[in-house]
Chains A and B, each alone.
Chain A
Amino acid sequence: MATTLEAPAITLTAPDPVPVVAPAQAAGLVPLATEQRSKLDEKVDSFIADLIAQDTNSPEFGKRVDQLTSMGRKEIAAAAGMSNRFLDRPMRAMDKDQGVGANLIELRRTVETLDPARAGKLSPGKKLLGLIPFGNTMQKYFDGYVSAQGHIKAILDKLASGKDELLMDNAAIDVERTKLWEAMGNLEQMIHISKKLDAGIEEKAGDLDSSDPAKAKALRESALFYTRQRTQDLLTQMAVTVQGYLALDLVKKNNVELVKGVDRASTTTVAALRTAVTVAQAMTNQRLVLQQITALNETTANIIDSTSTLLKEQTGQIHQQAAASTIPVETLQRAFQNIYDTMDTIDTFKIKALDSMKQTVNTLSAEVEKSKGYIARAQGQSSAQVAHDGPSLLSLEG
């Protein structure tokens, strides 16, 4: 009978760390629509035709090559800015000294002081000479609840606002990820362009090998060379961005799990307090009035919609058991065990999650560092010619 009180076990899964994404695998993760593809292909074809038509020694040819070297400048800069921002994001929830983590620790400490297992043997006491109450440890124990209720309410309130912070964090991550997805789509388009250019120029150079070997050489040494370099830059940035995108998902998953944990910790605590109220009535016939907790019952049930049904069911069971059971203290102990179980689950989750997070941040920092070199090069080249080249055939907004 007493076992029905057990809440379904809570499992919090820490997500796996984000693996290193190699530049070669980075392309193709964001799908391009067929019409997008054909539009880009058209652009590339007209650019190549235009390039071939120029005399390789003319400044016009040089201008076209300049466009190749700065291809995707804006896309790379935009994506780079966003990946860096991920590294600035503090791991708020994981932080031991403040926020949700600290509040959970405080809750545990407070709950431990109320644990019936610590109170020693509880007895309703006897009446000396049938008149004077004597040795009523039970009464003293339940008095502890009255004095602790304000503190517990404060912690639970803090946990609720901590949960809001986590949700806000996830909302920010969602927005960031949507933007990253767009940035990745743009990078993908530029990668498509540069790969297409690579193949196209290579082919034209092959055609010209017999008829105009000098031009074929110039094409290979300037246009093709810069195109390949640019493809590499774009792929490197894409890899970093994909990794940042996945890492943000990791943070979000962590937060979701932590929100679950916070919900459960609040629910089990409130359930234990309710049990205490019932047990007190059954055993000592005293009416334990926890006004702040009663108020909390309502708000908690409202806040934690997903678990409020569970809470309601449990309360029904508690009432039944406390009334029927011959050992109501055991019921109370089980309620406390539920809190401890939840908190232990959260702790193990946090250790694993922190580990995943650390690995992810390390790999991402290393990759961002690597890509910075490329970006610096890209920006150096392009700043020289911002003012004087016309709208490039190779820019996305054309």
Chain B
Amino acid sequence: MADSPAHSSDAILSAARASLNDQRAGGRRMATGKPIGQRSAALRRSSQKRKAVALGLSVVVAIMLVNLVIGLLSGLLHLLGWLASGAGVALLLAVIWMLLRDRAVTVPSLENLRASPPRQLVGQTQLWLEAQRSALPAPALDLVGQIGGQLDGLALQLDRVDENAPAVGQVRQLVGQHLPDLVKAYTDIPPALRGAEHAGASPDQQLTQGLARLSGELDSVTRQLAEGKLDNLAIQSRFIDYKYGDTPEG
């Protein structure tokens, strides 16, 4: 009787409520469409810009070609030629729009992700995570959003830190390896089995727990990277105390 609808009504109801809330908030399309961080957003923007420039150039070339052909013709054909070129331009614009809308940026593969230099790693990981979102359960999605924000903070720190600092190696491992490995291990599981209990917890739970841990670790790494700056201010104020304050020197 365990499978009877009456027995699992609570679960069904709560799932329905969650689904309703989700849809009200814009649904999965909305949640998974937005970039999770500024770095990935910037990567998307720059990639769109590059594509737009390339397409724009090809449009100009196409128009010039059309005009060249038209220039060779004359008389009545002239007017017809202009109409044809107008139609051609409209068609090209439609193609551009289609191309820009979808897959504006290439999502890195795991291998490329790991090979990217520390400063670009964060943006790449954000892009990769965004691409995985459609496969992740709802609570993990929230965490991925949170991690996206944390990665932005981390990227700001990384920009100002020496690439050989010990913490940078830690970031590499965390952002380039442990985080994607965890998500990949989850997405490798057939969807039907992701809710079933295995080794003490369901894959859904394990993923969520793992992501929460990693989120905590990201926090502490970011703090570690900022420590030099925090120390610096403390040292300066202590020095000023020594030099101009009432405390005896040294």
Chain A residues within CB distance 8 Å of chain B: 59, 81, 164, 166-168, 170-172, 174-175, 179, 252, 255-256, 259, 306, 386-388, 390
Chain B residues near A252 (CB-CB < 8 A): 250
| Other A-B pairs, 6, CB within 8 Å; known A172-B235, A386-B178, A387-B182 | A167-B239, A168-B235, A171-B238, A179-B231, A259-B250, A390-B209
CB of B17, distance to nearest CB on chain A (Å)? 27
**Which residue of chain B has the shortest Cβ distance to A78 in the bound complex?**
B224
> A105 to B250, alpha carbons, bound, how many Å?
23
Contact across chains for B249 and A171 when beta carbons are under 8 A apart: no
A259 and B200: CB pair below 8 A? Answer: no
The interface residues of chain B, by DSSP majority, are classed as helix
Q: Does B118 lie at the interface of the complex (its beta carbon under 8 Å from any beta carbon of A)?
A: no
Q: Is the interface of A mostly helix, strand, loop or mixed?
A: helix
Enumerate chain A residues within 8 angstroms of B234, measured Cβ to Cβ. 175
A167 neighbours in B (Cβ, 8 Å): 239, 242-243, 249-250
Chain A residues in 8 Å Cβ range of B200: 59
In the bound complex, do residue A256 and residue B249 qualify as a contact, i.e. CB atoms below 8 Å apart? yes
Interface centre among B166, B206, B234, B249 (most CB of A within 10 A): B249
In the bound complex, CA of A252 to CA of B200 (Å):
54
* Distance (whole angstroms) from the CB of A164 to the closest CB of chain B: 7
CA distance A255 to B248 in the complex (A): 13
User: CB-CB < 8 A to B239: which residues of A?
Assistant: 164, 167-168, 171
Q: In the complex, are the beta carbons of B249 and A259 less than 8 A apart?
A: yes
Q: Are B238 and A175 in contact (CB under 8 A)?
A: yes
Shortest distance between the CB of B164 and any CB in chain A (Å)? 14
Minimum C-beta distance from B218 to chain A (A): 13
- With a CB–CB cut-off of 8 A, which chain B residues contact A256? 249-250
From B166, B209, B217, B238, give the contact of A174 (CB < 8 A): B238
Name the distance in Å between B100's Cβ and chain A's nearest Cβ.
38
Nearest chain A CB to B249's CB is how many angstroms away? Answer: 6
Question: In the complex the two chains form, is B209's CB within 8 Å of A388's CB?
Answer: yes
Give the interface centre of A172, A175, A386, A390 by most chain B CB atoms within 10 Å.
A175
- The reply to whether A175 and B213 form a contact with Cβ atoms under 8 Å apart is no
- Of the candidates B210, B231, B242, the one whose C-beta lies within 8 Å of that of A170 is B242
A81 to B224, CA, bound (A): 11
The one of A164, A174, A388 that contacts B210, using a Cβ cutoff of 8 Å: A388
Question: In chain B, residues 236-250, which have Cβ atoms closer than 8 Å to a Cβ of chain A?
Answer: 236, 238-239, 241-243, 249-250
Can you identify 21 A-B contacts, CB atoms within 8 angstroms? A59-B200, A164-B243, A167-B242, A168-B235, A170-B242, A170-B250, A171-B235, A171-B239, A172-B231, A172-B238, A175-B231, A175-B234, A255-B250, A256-B249, A256-B250, A259-B249, A306-B249, A386-B213, A386-B217, A387-B178, A387-B210
Minimum CB–CB distance from B54 to chain A (whole Å) comes to 42
Q: Give every chain A residue within 8 A of B250 (Cβ-Cβ).
A: 166-167, 170, 252, 255-256, 259
Residue of B whose beta carbon sits closest to that of A63: B200
CB distance from A144 to the nearest CB of B (A): 34
Flag if A387 contacts B249 (CB, 8 Å).
Answer: no
Question: Contacts of A179 on B, CB cut-off 8 Å?
Answer: 231
Complex alpha-carbon distance, A306 and B239, angstroms: 17
| Residue on A nearest B206 in the bound complex, by CB | A388
Q: Which are the 7 A-B pairs with shortest beta-carbon distances?
A: A256-B250, A171-B238, A171-B239, A175-B234, A387-B210, A167-B242, A172-B235
The complex places the Cα of A306 from the Cα of B210 at a distance, in Å, of 59
* Complex Cα–Cα for A81 and B234 (A): 19
